Amino acid sequence: DAGQVLAAASLDALPSWPTATGEATLAQLGDGQRVLRVALDAEVEGDVVREVWLLTPEVDGLISLGYLTGASGEFIVPDSVDLGRFSVVDISAEPLDGDPTHSGDSIVRGALEV
């Protein structure tokens, strides 16, 4: 079930990652679940994982959806998440340091648009 596409985003590279590119698509599945599909093209080295987030446009609120393993992934967006408020997709590079907060090292970011 590919679902009905609700919104999409082109994910643009942030200054520390000038060659990175990405895209995101938000779909609603037949059972009502919302799924965010992301694809990322970026070289990440060392003890770093890539984490997918939803942010507010003002970056004053964020929700982690999980870790991206490989070049693409799918993440269920809980019904409790207000996509009108959390409309920006962000993929960050996170050190394996046990700190669950955003590292501040975003690779790509873009706003979901209908």
The predicted-structure confidence for 33-66, as pLDDT tens digits, reads as follows 999 999 999 988 878 899 999 999 999 999 999 9
Transcribe 39-69 into DSSP letters.
Answer: EEE----SSEEEEEEEE-TTSS-EEEEEEE-
pTM: 0.93
d(CA 32, CA 27): 10
pLDDT at position 99 is 87
